[in-house]
Structures are given as C-alpha cells and as structure tokens.
Amino acid sequence: MQLDMTKESLCINKIVGQKTENIFVEGDMIVPDVKPDILNTISTTGNVCIYKKEVLEGKVRIDGEVEVYVIYLADNENEETRSLSTSVDFTQIIDFENCNNGMSLDEAITIGSLECRVLNGRKINVKANLQFEGTLYSNETIEIVKQVNNLNDVQSLERNLKLNSLVGEGISKTYAKDTIMIDNIDNLAEVLKTELSIKNKDIKISYNKVLAKADVCIKMLYLTEDNRIKLVENVAPIMGFVDIENVTEEDICDMRYQLKNMLVKPNSVEEHSVYIEAQIELYARVYQNKEVTVIGDLYSPSENLVFKQRNVNTMSNKLCVNSMCNIREKMSVPEIGGNQIYDVEVTPVIIERTIANSKVMFQGEMRLKYLYATNQTCGIGVKEMKLPFEHQVEIQGVSLTTNIRTEMEIASQDFVVGTDGMIEAKVDINFVLDVSNTLQINMIDEVKLDETRNKEIYSMVIYFVKPGDTLWNIAKKLGSTVSDIVRVNKIEDENKIYPGQQLFVPKYVYTKREITA
C-alpha cells in the first residue's frame, strides 16, 4: 500500500569535481610583407579568449585562442622597434571523472608563460602555457519527504539543515567599446600591445534579472612615426543583464566575466585615435539560502513500513570573500636606473595554499616584467623579476574539506623610479574566494505499508543499554516510541543514556496476517 506523503521539491547544485591542468598552445607567426625582418624579440604578451566550451561524456572540450603581441627589433639599418600580432587557435580535451552531458563547467584560464623563438627573419614560433582551473557542477531536482499523512503514529528522525538551493543560471553577452585618444602631436605608426583587465565588479539583483556592472581597464602601448614609445590608459564601463526567474535580493549570485574576443584597429574616421572593442560573456549562477527539515529514518509502532534510503550531496555555507593584499616593496634594478618605465606587467601566482585555524594562507610570487626606456637604438628594454608575498584570509569554519576557488585581480599598481636605481613598488591584489562546503543528506524515499502483519498485544520488556545505543534505535527495534520510553523511565535528557542502564520499554507484538486465497 502506498502512503500519502507531503513532499517538497528542491533543486540542488553539487560539485562533481575540480581540476587544474596545463594547456600547451603552439603556432607560428609570419611577418607581413609591409614589415621589416626580425633581428630578435624584445617582449611577448597575450590575452586568452574562450569562444566555446562543451561538457561531454567523461570530458570537457575548450575552444579558444591566444591573442599574441610581439615587440621586436627590426633587422635593418635603423634597428627600429616594431610589433606583430596574431591569434593562435587551440582546442583542448580535458578528462573529467563522472562528467555527463547537461552538467555546468565553471572555468578560468590564464597565461602561465608565453615565449617566442625566431625561426628566421620572417617567421616566429610561439609557445603558450595556459593554466586551466575548472569546477564541474551537477544540477538535480529532488523531492524531500516532509510528512506521512495517513498514519497517525509515525515516528520520524528529523534533521534541520541549512543548504544552498539553486535558483537558476543564465548567460548573456555585453560589449566594451572605446576610442582611445593619443596625443595630437603623435602620428601613430603602430600599436605595440594592448592589455585588458576587468575591475570594480558589482552586481545587483532585481525582478527576474541580475545586473552586472564593471570597468574594463585598457592599457595600450604604441609607437609613433618618429620612433617614440608611449603608453595610454583608459577605462570603459560595461553593463549587462542576465535573465533568471524568481531571483531575490537575498540570494547569492556568482558572476563570471570572460573575454570572448577583442578588436583593436586605428580609427579611420577620427585621427589620433584607436578603436577597441571587446566582447565579454556574463555567466550568472544564483543560490538561495534555504532551511529544510529532512526525515532520515522513520517507523510505526503499529504498522510495518518499508522504504528506501539514499544519500544526496549538495552545497552549503556558500559565500564570497574579498580580501585585499597590499604589497609595498623597494627593489634595486640597476639596469633601469633613473630611466622612464613605459609599463609593468604584473602577474600574481599562487605557489602554495594551506588551511588551519579558520584561516586560508597563501604563499605566492608577483612576476614583474618592466618595459623601460634605454639609450640603445631600439629605445626599449625588458627586465623580469619575481617578488614573493604572503597573504592570509580569515574565514570562520573553513576546513581542509572546504571547496575554495580563488581568483586574483590587480586592483592598483604604481612603480616609482628613484635616481639611485631603486624602484618603489605599490601593488594591491584583490583575492576573491568562492567558498562552500559539501553537505551529505541522508533521506528516505518510496515509503510503503507492508500489510502482512497485525498488531495483537501490548507488552513491556526490560532492555539493557548497549554501547552505541540511542533511544531512537531502541524504540525502533522494539516497536516502541522515544516518548513512551522517556515517560515510563522518567528520563530527563533523552540524549543521555549509558551502557548497562536498565530501561522498561513498552512495545507492540506482531504476528503475520493469514493470507486467504
């Protein structure tokens, strides 16, 4: 016989797996006919654009490109500074255990290293080491049994749980479009490199929408026709909406910003300007803090109930933590001396992460690449350095089993050159930690009534408590109730019983029904 039950539907989101992997990308750059031969390279930089990802059976597929900028010394009389740019496409298959179609992938791909080798005066080989960090999520709608309605004496073992229920997820695109103005006295020869970063991220939740706002910070290094090197910086605000039904201001939202593609070209309409356009994907996943009561076990003293039990993993205690790491160091760089610094590329890298005493501790290094003025013909020099740093973030209740995803954003940077070859570095790194725990729910399912036995008599037994016993286990085994045992034995605290303790247990005795043809 099937029983009438009250159930609650719940959409759970669980982490199936996390993985880090290196992606190696290689390609060749050919020098266009309009540009001089290459003597040697000066600097190589790049941006990663991901334009497609697929979650397949047992694996994920990533399609993208690396936008590469190479500043080189020309092989001609004047040994001019020139530049090349190209896109190197890549496709990477990454094995993921327990991966299935329909799951969601949250990934971050950064450039670990980028190098180039001159093959001949007209050709360069480029190798990029990309660092992939991905988290695979599974969404599932489950039904939780709240109550058995048509049986009066059901005894249930309940747990009150706090978890994060998935409200929904969505994707949209937005564009950063900007015209970068250069000095009127400068005649643009070519763009040497362009660097984009997304800062000042902010979200607001309104009716059925998540509003995302941020600033796209643009740095462009360019060469003038009279062989001067200049840097210009600009900020382009972006805004976009992601439609998700039933979101509220109290919900928790994960918003990911991902560069899809970028266009940089001199403006044909307005002189002394460069047009830049970047397509950015917005991916939002919204959670609700939810309190649920779950029945982990049940029985009836008067009837024989048959049911299944299963364990379900979901997410709990989700939060986003921001913590600023302020690095203030003085470094001796005699190669630069008192010369002008055109630009400093700052790449923070985590070397080790440890967790102890409610703290997440990071050891890392800040990789610096200085592009500076020299007295040489090419007018530009490169100096690479590493600056170690430590940072810790206090998070109440964090443990070794906590799921932590870390992003680092350069909030600000300033490098002041002294006359004695000392450089004062001021860098602020914003650590963004996505934190959650995995909660295991033990729940019952498919409760039925076994009608092959009848209650006949009511009796009392004497029971001696064994190690590991609880009043619930004793009551269920002997066909009694916790409240009856507490009442008969005048127990003050039902959680405090001890081995060898004598209990009087009222119980029901059953015999099987006779089945007639």
296-300, 422-426, 461-465, 511-515: segment of lowest average pLDDT: 511-515
The amino acid occupying position 497 is I
Q: Where does the pLDDT of residue 452 fall: very low under 50, low under 70, confident under 90, or very high at 90 and above?
A: low
Sign of CA dihedral 438, 441, 446, 450: positive
CA dist., res. 317 & res. 443, Å (int): 20
Phi, psi of 360 (to 5 degrees): -105, 120
**In the prediction, which pLDDT does 467 show?**
94
Which domains are assigned to the chain?
A: 1-150 (no CATH), 162-299 (no CATH), 317-442 (no CATH), 456-512 (3.10.350.10)
Mean predicted confidence (pLDDT) in 445-459: 70
**In the prediction, which pLDDT does 455 show?**
55
* Residue 154 pLDDT > 60: yes
Phi, psi of 475 (to 5 degrees): -65, -40
CA dist., res. 21 & res. 26, Å (int): 16
59 CB-side CA count, 13 A: 7
CA dist., res. 466 & res. 486, Å (int): 17
> Scanning the structure block, which residue is given the tokens 């302020």?
326
| Neighbour tally for 99: CB within 10 Å | 20
pLDDT, one tens digit per residue, over 59-113 is: 999 999 999 999 998 888 877 888 998 899 999 999 998 899 989 898 889 898 8
> Which tokens hold the place of 117?
């080798």
**In the prediction, which pLDDT does 514 show?**
45
**In the prediction, which pLDDT does 517 show?**
37
> Scanning the structure block, which residue is given the tokens 């800062």?
199
Q: Which residues contact 150 (CB under 8 A, 6 or more apart)?
A: 3, 4
**In the prediction, which pLDDT does 378 show?**
65
Mean predicted confidence (pLDDT) in 499-507: 91
The average confidence (pLDDT) of the chain is 89
Task: Look at residue 498 and give its three-state secondary structure.
Answer: coil
CA dist., res. 67 & res. 199, Å (int): 20
Contact 387, 366 (CB under 8 A): yes
**In the prediction, which pLDDT does 367 show?**
93
| Four-CA torsion 196, 344, 83, 267, nearest 10 degrees | 40
Contact 191, 217 (CB under 8 A): no
CA dist., res. 20 & res. 396, Å (int): 26
* Residue 270 pLDDT > 80: no
Contact 260, 53 (CB under 8 A): no
**In the prediction, which pLDDT does 1 show?**
60
CA dist., res. 362 & res. 366, Å (int): 12
Mean predicted confidence (pLDDT) in 308-332: 91
**In the prediction, which pLDDT does 10 show?**
85
Q: Which residues of 375-392 are buried (b: 16+ CB within 10 A; e: fewer)?
A: eeebbbbbbeeebebebe
Mean predicted confidence (pLDDT) in 274-293: 92
Q: Please state the length of the chain.
A: 517
Q: How far is CA 480 from CA 294, 381, 484, 499, in A?
A: 22, 85, 7, 19
> Which tokens hold the place of 247?
């979101």
| Neighbour tally for 169: CB within 10 Å | 19
Q: How far is CA 346 from CA 239, 325, 373, 384, in A?
A: 26, 14, 18, 10
The amino acid occupying position 313 is N
Task: Look at residue 151 and give its three-state secondary structure.
Answer: coil
* Residue 312 pLDDT > 90: no
For residue 476, give the H/E element and its range.
helix 471-478
Rg (CA), the chain: 32
Q: Where does the pLDDT of residue 25 fall: very low under 50, low under 70, confident under 90, or very high at 90 and above?
A: very high
Alpha-carbon 249 to chain mean position: 21
**In the prediction, which pLDDT does 460 show?**
85
Mean predicted confidence (pLDDT) in 38-61: 91
**In the prediction, which pLDDT does 472 show?**
92
Mean predicted confidence (pLDDT) in 503-517: 61
CA dist., res. 203 & res. 242, Å (int): 11
pLDDT, one tens digit per residue, over 351-407 is: 999 999 999 999 999 999 999 988 766 678 899 999 999 999 999 989 999 999 999
Alpha-carbon 197 to chain mean position: 17
